[in-house]
Amino acid sequence: MAKFRISANMEFVKSADKSFVEGVNIASELGYKYVEPMVHTGWGLLSEVGYFHSFSMEEDPLLMKEICDEAGVKISSFSGHSPLMKPEAAVPRLTRAIQFANATGAKFVNSDEMLKPDWMNDKDAFEAMKYSLTKANMVAKRYGVYICIEPHGIYTKTAQGLLNIVNLVKSPNIAVNWDTGNSYLAGEEDPYEGLELVKSHVRHVHAKDISMNHSDKERGKVTGTPVGCACGEGVVDWERIIHILKPLDREIFFSVECGTIDEADRSIKFLKKVFGSDLIDD
């Protein structure tokens, strides 16, 4: 039977213009034992001046680990979203994120298909994605890391579309990161039926709730959203999600994706109650 761990996706400090170091320390103060950093290639201006939480993969991965160790938190996974239809960007980005995961003790790198160029047809898109995932999977297998694809784009807005991408490369290292908010907002199908369809592939969850106001404005009009409201304060049926995933024989991270520090505080308190004895809190 599944057991669950709670992590904080670092997006929760984005609205507060906090750096990676500040964000990690705030997560620790809120009681999070794990964080999911966002990583990027190159040198981002806002990150370099301490106004943004994303961590450059030009840095030493052990520097990231030292920062987390000092705050008393571990790294659950990486937000390594890469444009799968642009192999020249996706392959080096995913490769580096996988190496970062290995160096810091994480097992999951999360991504989605991202945007399809206007000039690209569906056939070419899937050939490009297959190339990107084939190359990245070679690295993931060496390091024992999972590449987890989430619902967030034009192809992954349905569960079958998500599986079509996951199954491009037959590998246990390519899995699903189920995003509870994106699957709901897409409005293409019942999100719980969608989860039932892909659950055997789920290794990681983005715990994203959607407020009623957000739902009224965007459901059926978008394929995803950066962050949601505090877990337990929106439309997501968390007990049903847990019931669907419970039969899986593995540990599953629920990485909270919300928009503010206060929402992250309320989210961890709510999820601890919902998980009860199924939570691994160490």
Return the pLDDT at 66. Answer: 98
Reported as a single tens digit per residue, the pLDDT across 172-211 is 999 999 999 999 999 999 999 999 999 999 999 999 999 9
pLDDT band, residue 141 (cuts 50/70/90)? very high
Q: Please answer whether residues 6 and 258 qualify as being in contact, where contact means their C-beta atoms are separated by less than 8 angstroms.
A: no
- Decide if pLDDT at 123 tops 90: yes
pTM metric for this prediction:
0.97
Over 90: is that where the pLDDT of 216 sits?
Answer: yes
Distance of CA 233 to the CA centre of its chain: 20
Q: pLDDT, tens digit, for every residue of 46-57?
A: 999 999 999 999
Whether the predicted pLDDT of 282 surpasses 90: no
pLDDT at 28 over 90: yes
Residues 6+ apart with CB under 8 A from 241: 180, 192, 195, 205
Q: Does pLDDT of 26 surpass 90?
A: yes
Which domains are assigned to the chain?
A: 3-278 (3.20.20.150)
Dig out the tokens for 193 from the structure.
């039926």
Q: Hey, what are 234's tokens?
A: 């929106």
Kindly report the three-state secondary structure assignment for every residue of 141-209: HHHCCEEEECCCCCCCCCHHHHHHHHCCCCCCCEEEEEEHHHHHHHCCCCHHHHHHHHHHHEEEEEECE
- For the record, the structure tokens of 87 come out as 């192999």
pLDDT value of position 244: 98
Distances from the Cα of 3 to the Cαs of 97, 193, 245, 248, in angstroms?
26, 21, 9, 9
- Over residues 163-173, the mean pLDDT reads 98
Compute the distance between CA of residue 174 and CA of residue 156 in angstroms, rounded to an integer.
15
* Rounded CA separation 226/249 (Å): 30
pLDDT above 70 coverage of the chain, percent: 100
Mean pLDDT over the full length of the chain:
97
- Average pLDDT score over residue span 82-93: 97
With cut-offs at 50, 70 and 90, classify the pLDDT of residue 20: very high
Contacts of residue 28, defined as CB under 8 A and 6 or more positions apart, other chains included, come to 71, 72, 73
Q: Which of the four pLDDT bands, split at 50, 70 and 90, describes residue 251?
A: very high
Structure tokens at 236: 């997501």
**Integer distance in angstroms from the first to the last C-alpha of the chain?**
18
* Averaged pLDDT, 254-264: 98
Question: Within 13 Å, how many C-alpha atoms sit on residue 134's CB side?
Answer: 8
**Cα(50)–Cα(23) distance, integer angstroms:** 10
Which residue type, as a one-letter code, is found at position 128? A
Cα–Cα distance between 32 and 25 in angstroms, integer?
10
Supply the pLDDT for residue 52. Answer: 97
Give which of 138, 132, 137, 105 is closest to 37, Cα–Cα. 105
Alpha-carbon separation of residue 181 from 104, 226, 242, 268 (angstroms): 28, 9, 15, 17
23 pLDDT above the threshold of 90: yes
